[in-house]
Structures are given as structure tokens and as C-alpha cells.
Amino acid sequence: MDDLSAAYGDDAEVLKAQLARYAEAVQAFRVRYGPGPALVFRAPGRVNLIGEHTDYSQGYVLPVALDRDVLMVVRPRADALIRLANIETSYAPCRFPVVPSVPSAPPGHWSNYARGAAQLLASEHGLCWGMDALICGQEPWGVPRGAGLSSSSALTVVVALALNQIHGLGLSSLDLAEACGRAEWYVGTRGGIMDQFVSLLSKRGSALFLDCRPDVQGRYAMRHVPLPEDHALVVVDSGVKHANTGPLFNTRVAEVRAGVALLRESLPGVQSLRDLESYPLDTLERLLPERITIAELRGRGITLAQLTNGGIIPLETELFIRARCRHVVTENARVIMAVSALVSGDLTGFGALMGQSHESLRRDFKVSTPEIEALVLAASAQPGVRGMRLTGAGWGGCVVALVSREHLPGFVEGIRRAYRAQAGREARTLVARAAPGAAQVMSVER
């Protein structure tokens, strides 16, 4: 039970439920693949406290690994085949070779994140062996899907972690986090590194402050920031799941990169929006257009390929440059102030920064929805709330709130009631613990 306590805390009922969950996963693995030794790995999802849409601009982020995770039971194979199944029968089992160019499943298929991890390890690190594996990620202890809590990245991480360990590739957690970020390019999204780093490198009871700009040796600065024990992080799911956020996300990436390319015409030293830290904010107003078309960018020598690195974005898309870049620049400043506020115990100041972050995401980055706004309004009216904001990529998903434990029961009931009245929907709440990073949890012999 010690390994489970390290991941999930000391609550006896929680540990009992987790032990039953692990036993169910191992039994399902044996039913599918037969008796014999196996290993069990876990990789957590995450909630981002502040620093949204900054990681792919080499900015700052402050996420927390959740005690909701993806489990995988594995047994190594001596050939180059991965057989992958899921404890949930709605996810069809599959198999694929471990080769430098892994055949893709249809777009949206659940196995593509695992395929991306295998392909990257094969192409960059010489992996040529497979495994039999069973995934267990169902709620209430799995990462909620489609809620902006990185269930997909947790799947990528747990597959890469297991392959690295069972076949002795020797990658450190830091190297593996970087590799997992690139592995997700396989599915067509060009995000940053935050989700993979927090899933692998977190510490129990702490948020992870991460500087997403590597130093000259290619390493990333990070710091574990303890969270206040007398407050809880509450994740509230709006129940809204956008059907296809990929093109929307890739458009935001393109808008930010277009802003950098345009700034470079006047400021040649600018390589990312991070470089604007030393410039006054009105530099953006002065040098960037409010909006621009892809055709106009081409006329200035900036191609779509430069902006997306292969990500999918419709050619007719109009890009909104100034507001998107303003969000990133101001959000970076807020993350630095938020870390200082947490360290000094200024939870009122930290909560105010969460609110400013949300307003920027709503106004400048345009990733909120009416349901998310209803949740934020409902949360702000509850006693004991320090701050709240949209968390994750947006277009639905979740709000995260910092709530005093004294007011926690009333908050959960109050926000459910208020959201039902305002939006006509049911809000799901998750009181989260800050969990450690991905790891092997246990081995079974029979």
C-alpha cells in the first residue's frame, strides 16, 4: 500500500478503492493476455493553475498533477509488436508494429497517442520491441476525458514510460517528457511541453513552475511550489466538450507565431513572445495588426508552413494577431507574480491573478464559452473562493477554483445549484490532490 499512498494520499477509503481498481486492471489483463508476470504504471492528468496557452511560446506555466490518472498493465514482448487493449469495451483493441513510421489508426482513434509514443521511441531512440498492454482510465479515478485535463497526454506518457523502462532505453524523466511532447505531433496537434512535463516531473503537494524556454544546454528550469494545505483545488467540469478543437488550437498557435514573425520585421532579435518581457506592452499595439489574412501574410514572406509545422488549419482562416499576443505576454507576467504570491502566502493576490488570467482568455484569446462563463460567475458568488479561471485549452472543459477547506462542502453544493439554475446543466466537481509524477506502481508475479 505504500506505493499507492505515495500517489493517492493516506485516506483509507481512497486507498481501498484504488487497490480494487488496480486489482481489476490486472485481472482484465490476465483474462486477455494470460497468466504471468506484469508491471503496472500510472501517469496523471493535470490542471493548470495559471499560464494558459503560453507553453508553445516558450513562456511560463504553473500546473498541478492530479490524483486522477491513466493506468497501464504491461508485459514486454520479444518482438516488435504492441497489442493494446482497454478495460472499457467501447474502445476496441488493436495491434501495431514498433517501427520508425507506425501506421496510423483513423483520426480520433484512441490508440493514436500510443502509436505516436511508440513511433518516436523507435525513430529517435532505437526501440524495436513491443509489449502487451491494457489501459485503465475510466472514472471516477481516471482522468476525465474531453475536459481539458490532459487525459490524452497521460496516455502518451504512460505508454512511453513503460516502453522506456521495460526495454531499458535509459531515458531520464526529463528526456522522456521532451520526447512525449514531440510524440503528440503524430495526432496533428502542435502544442507545447507543459502537459508531458507535469505528468512526469511533479511532486506530491506542489505545483510545478516550468519555464518552457530551454537554456543553451537544452534544459528547462523548473521549481516545485508547495500549495497551501488549508485550501483545496476544485475542478468543475462544465459538461461542454467541443467536437473538434484541433483546428481551433492550431489556429491559436498560428496566430501567435504570425505575431512573432511580424514583430521580427521591426525587432529582429525576437524569437518568441517571451522576448517581449523587456518591452512595454504598447509595443504590441504599435507593431501588430489587429487581424490579417493568410494571403496578406504570404505577401510579406510568411507562409502557413512556418506557422503550423504541419498542423491543420483552413486556408481561409483570418488570424487575429494583436489580442492573441497580448494574452500571451500578459499571462507570462501573471505566472511570475502568481508564484511569488503562493510562496509568500498571499492567496488573495494569487486569486486575483487567476481572475485576470480568465478575463484575458475570455477577451483576448477567445476560448471561453457561455457555460464556462456561467461556472465562473457561479463560483465567484460562493464563500471561501480565492479565485477561479478557465483551465485547459478552452472551448468548454473545466474551471479550476482555489477554495478554503472550511467552505469546501458548501462550495461544491452551491456551485452545482447555481450552475443548474444559470445554464440548465449539471456540473461535475472534482476535489483534487496534487499528485506525484508518472511511475511504475507495482509488479505482479502470477
CA distances from 441 to 11, 18, 393, 433, 444 (A): 18, 12, 30, 18, 10
Largest CA distance in the chain: 68
6/47 Cα distance (integer angstroms) = 19
Rg over alpha carbons for the chain, rounded to the nearest Å, is: 22
The answer to whether the CB of 32 falls within 8 A of the CB of 98 is no
182/190 Cα distance (integer angstroms) = 8
DSSP 3-state of 311: coil
Count Cα atoms within 13 angstroms, Cβ side, for 311. Answer: 26
State residue 208 phi and psi, 5-degree precision: -115, 110
The answer to whether the CB of 65 falls within 8 A of the CB of 434 is yes
CA distances from 439 to 134, 371, 405, 443 (A): 16, 36, 29, 12
Distance of CA 382 to the CA centre of its chain: 27
Angle formed by the axes of helices 246-266 and 322-344, to 10°? 100
Cell of 212: 518552457
Q: Which of 217, 216, 207, 214 is nearest to 192 (CA)?
A: 214
358/365 Cα distance (integer angstroms) = 10
Residue 276 has what DSSP assignment? Answer: G
Q: Which of 111, 110, 107, 108 is nearest to 97 (CA)?
A: 111
200/52 Cα distance (integer angstroms) = 19
Catalytic residue among 195, 237, 275, 364: 195
Residue 157 has what DSSP assignment? Answer: H
The answer to whether the CB of 179 falls within 8 A of the CB of 172 is no
226/208 Cα distance (integer angstroms) = 9
* 67 has catalytic annotation: no
Measured on CA atoms in the order 350, 353, 359, 363, is the torsion positive or negative?
negative
Beta-carbon contacts of residue 92 (< 8 Å; ≥ 6 apart): none
As annotated, the active-site residues are 195
